[in-house]
Every structure is written in C-alpha cells, then in structure tokens.
Structure 1
Amino acid sequence: MSSDLSILVTLNEHYLPQLEVMLTSLHASNPGENVSVWLIHRSLTPEQLARLERRCGLLGFSLHPVTADARLFADAPLTRQYPQEMYYRLLAAQLLPEEMHRVIYLDPDILVINPLRPLWELDLAGNLFAAAAHTGKTELANSVNQVRLGTDHDYFNSGVLLMDLDAGRRWINPEALFDFTRRHARELLFPDQDLLNMLYGSLVLPLDDAVWNYDARNFNNYYLRSGGDCDMDWVFAHTSVLHFCGKAKPWKPGYRRRFGPLYRHYMRLTQLAMPD
C-alpha cells in the first residue's frame, strides 16, 4: 500500500471555496503526511485549476486534475436531477489511473480534524467500499430508506468513502449502472447515494460515523446515545471527519449550530494563507 494519502474530490466551480477550506483542515490535522489530491471534473477553467494548484502547493499537497471522458457517459441518463457529476465517485475506478489501488473520497462540505491514516490503512476485508451510516440518531429515516430502496442493510452516507479501486474495476460496470439508473429513476431521491446503497450496499464495510462521518447537525444525539461520553472533548480527540450534512451550511450567513465557529476558523485560516 502506498504511504501517501490519496484523496478524491468531485465537484464543479460552486464548491471550490469549500474544497479549499476542507484541504486547509486536512493539512492541519495530518502533519507530515504526503497527500495527493485527485480532482474529477468536467468544467473547471484553467484559472480555477491554477488557483487550486496554488492552494495545494502552499499546503504541500500535489494536485491531479482528471477531466471526465465524455465518451464514458454517452449512454448515461443525464438530466438536471442526474448530472454527469453524480456518477463520478461510483465510477472513480474507471476514471482514475489503473496504477491507483485505493482512494479516500471526501465531500467538500467537510472538516478533517484528526488523522486520516487509520482509515487509509483499514483492511477492507474484500469489500468494495467502507462507509458510515447515520443510524443511531435517525433509526426511523434509516428504516424508511431500507423500505424505499428494498435493502436489508443500513443506509450508508456517500460523503466519506474508502474505495478499493481494483475491486471497482472488477465489479462496477458503467453500462449496467446507467441502465439501472434509467429503470429506477423514480425511486432515486438522493441519486448517487441511493445508487451506492441499492447496487453496492452489500459490499460496504461499515464505519463508525462518530469517528469517520460525524453529522455536525446532531451533537445532542451523539451525546445522548453515548451516555454523555461523546462530548466536545471526545469529538476533538476522536472524530476525524466532521460532515456538514443538510441544507444549512456553516459558510452561509445565519448559521448558528455548534460547529459553526470551528468552520469559520478554518475559513479564516484559508483566507489568511492565500488572500484573494
């Protein structure tokens, strides 16, 4: 296994500022790590990529932009609800170089506040992905999703994924993925996440969401379900990934939830390191 951390992001220009904040937090919480940032996109401009490359250079990271091959998506059902970008994380194995064997996918609306190496070195035990389900505080929603999608496993969040790329090249067929999407379009409320669960949920190694995909909306629920152990000190000592799920986002005016000041701290560090 490579000693370098390989991080995958897939986005358009609207989430570039949040990506820069996420990378700032990743650098601060993973001192001494060599990090390769792989970016799959289709529409970023040379100027936008140059800015991101400068940001990565300041952090000591290497940036590897990958322009998605449009030919791969020639038969994909593409609409406003199902943009091409929604397929990128599931088709990462087909889009990234064959010499890559694993990668950690991260949504841009994330802060990394503790090391990622334990996740990077996790034994996937033959599974395609490792992911967390937000089950302890949302059992009703989890059950509803199981009924809605006809699955018998927890509903995994696709915002943090450890991927076995070799397994993805064996098991994920783009044509079959597109055909499934076409046939089940009416059932997909959260398209890429629903596809992950419907098609590959049985090949997901469950992760502890309190460590690897902490839903920043739900401090009180984590605290209560842990009997008071999962307090703020516990989060700062043990949680690696804070995920700002949902419509309310900490970079927007009026955000008043608990982890908003922490996010704005990293926003400020990001701006100080490379002023506009």
Structure 2
Amino acid sequence: MIYKRGSEKDIIRILVSLDQNYLFRFQVLLTSIAVNNPQEKMEIYLMHSDIPEEKLESVKKQCASFDYGFFSIAVDSAIFSNAPETKRYPQEMYYRLLAAHLLPQDLKRILYLDPDIIVINDLRPLWETEMQGNLFAAASHTGLTELANNVNRLRLGTDSDYYNSGVLLIDLEACRKEIIPEEVITFSTTRRMSLVLPDQDILNAMFGHRILPLDDSIWNYDARKYNSYLARSSGKTDINWIFSHTVILHFCGRAKPWKSRYPYRFGLLYKHYEQLTRRWLENLE
C-alpha cells in the first residue's frame, strides 16, 4: 500500500534531520512515540542529504507497521557547503532552521525532534499549542543555571533565554514569510568562528525574540539533570512526577545511553525502548 499524505487537521507531523549513522536512534524514537501515543495519526518527515534508499527500507517498514506516513526529503548538500560543521554537528543540523523552505509548501506546522530523544507521554498538547505569533516554540535548559543563560546572552548579544534546538514546534507558514534562507546561510558562514553549538546559536541569535517558551521539565527534559530539576522544583519533579507529566526526554550532551558507562539516570529506560525496537524490527523481517 502506498501511503498518501493526509489532510486531516488532527494528524501530528514529526520532523527529524540526520545522517545514516543515527537511523537506528531515529527508529528508537519512533517506537517510543508509537507506544505512548497509540491512538494518534502521525506523519514522519526525514530530511537528509545522502542516505541511500535501501538504508531507509527498515524505517519505511516500521512506519507502515505503525500506520504512519513516511516521507523522505533529500536536501541538496551544496546549499550548506560553506556552513560550519563537525563530526558531532553535521550539516543536517541546519535543516530544521530552513524546514519551511525544504518541506512541502502546504504544510502549516511541524514538530522537530532530535533523534537522541524518547517520548514517554502524549504529544498532542504540544502539537496543539497556540504559537501566539511566534515562529518557534522551544524550551530553555539554562533555567537550571542562570550563569549559563547570562554567558550565552553576552556571547550572542541577545536578551532572551538560550533555547535548546532539539525540540521545536515550527509555524511553517510564518517561517516561510519571515525566514530568508540566504540570511541564515550568510550568518552561519560569517560567524563560523564564534559559533559553539552552530544551529542552536543561530536559532537564538537570529530568532530568539520569536520563540514561545516551553516548560523544559515537560517538553524537553535534559536527562542529565535529574537532581537539578528536583532541587529547582523543591522536590516536586521526582521519578513519579516525571513518568506522569514529562513527555519528551532528551539525552543531551556527549554521553549517550546507547554507549557504555552512561552515567546518568534514565539510561535503562532508553535501553528498554531500544530493546522494544529491535524486537519490533525482527518481527517485521
């Protein structure tokens, strides 16, 4: 069966951008979404520059088994040929910033998720968030330490919080009108020596004043910071609270739960979804 894009207003549309090294992480994310949003209709958009079609077959089968629409968007890598990138931060990290110009033009909004995320509760409240005229909705992790917030404001010359780009609700219609791709590319190339986290720095420096703040403890929980969240909330956000309220767990930073000696809480939870994914994929073969 060939999936045709739906026109129903209740479809949640998810965007990811990655290279083929992160394909299985993407599939773990998909499993977590399906397990915890069992009644939802989803369309999944993958933006990439060079993933061979045969490498996507497993993803296509997985999405079909969930009854999700899947759309592969190949991006011309030449567009970002001069933009700063590293092994840790490949070119694909920029695609979310220009998603409005790279995705089908009739899409009105999309929810971007990094592939080092698992979803453990209902995404619909986020999907239906009123954007209040903003281009993006995002969460800041720097509320955990105001010092980091102040450093980033000084570094980028901004007066807003420093928002994490791993979870972005994007108003595509507004972005098409206001974001000029050439300006984003020019900014990335002329400021390349001062960009620490390139896509995130660009998001904050250029569009920080057009971002709707989200509660990170619910919508972009930094999985490294359990004790910080607990202290900030005076003990409210304990494990029971997290499993009842947090929707998106983000495994930020260099340490990842699929690597050996992962030192932070929630590593075993990630392993659970990793194992579910392997079993699911084995059953599809």
For Structure 1 versus Structure 2, the TM-score category normalised by the shorter chain is over 0.9
Distance 1:84 1:274 in 2: 28
Letter in 1 for 2:82: P
Residue pair 2:118, 2:249 contacting (<8 A) in 1 also: yes
1:96 aligns with 2:93: no
DSSP 3-state at the match of 1:115:
coil
- Report the TM-score when normalising by structure 2: 0.93
Residue pair 2:84, 2:189 contacting (<8 A) in 1 also: no
Partner of 2:20: 13
- For structure 1, the 5+ residue unaligned runs are none
1:188 to partner: Cα distance: 0.6
1:163 corresponds to which of 155, 160, 170: 170
1:83 to partner: Cα distance: 4.6
DSSP 3-state at the match of 2:200:
helix
Partner of 1:78: 83
Of the structure 1 ranges 220-229 and 137-146, higher mean CA displacement relative to structure 2 is found in 137-146
Distance 1:120 1:31 in 2: 15
- CA 1:182–1:31: 2 relative to 1, 3 Å: same
Residue pair 1:136, 1:225 contacting (<8 A) in 2 also: no
1:266 corresponds to which of 273, 277, 283: 273
Instruction: Say what the alpha-carbon RMSD is for the aligned residues.
Output: 1.5
Distance 1:228 1:199 in 2: 36
1:138 aligns with 2:145: yes
The 5 Å alignment of 1:202-217 reads 202-217=209-224
Partner of 1:236: 243
1:220 aligns with 2:223: no
Instruction: Report the identity percentage.
Output: 50
- Report the TM-score when normalising by structure 1: 0.96
DSSP 3-state at the match of 1:90:
helix
1:24 corresponds to which of 19, 31, 36: 31
Residue pair 2:84, 2:198 contacting (<8 A) in 1 also: no
Partner of 1:58: 65
1:47 to partner: Cα distance: 1.2
Partner of 1:129: 136
Residue pair 2:83, 2:188 contacting (<8 A) in 1 also: no
User: Residue deviations 1:182-218, cap 9 Å, x none?
Assistant: 2211111100000000000000000000000000000
Letter in 2 for 1:196: L
Residue pair 2:13, 2:44 contacting (<8 A) in 1 also: yes
DSSP 3-state at the match of 1:228:
coil
1:177 to partner: Cα distance: 1.1
1:86 to partner: Cα distance: 2.7
DSSP 3-state at the match of 2:235:
coil
Residue pair 1:91, 1:174 contacting (<8 A) in 2 also: yes
- For structure 2, the 5+ residue unaligned runs are 1-7
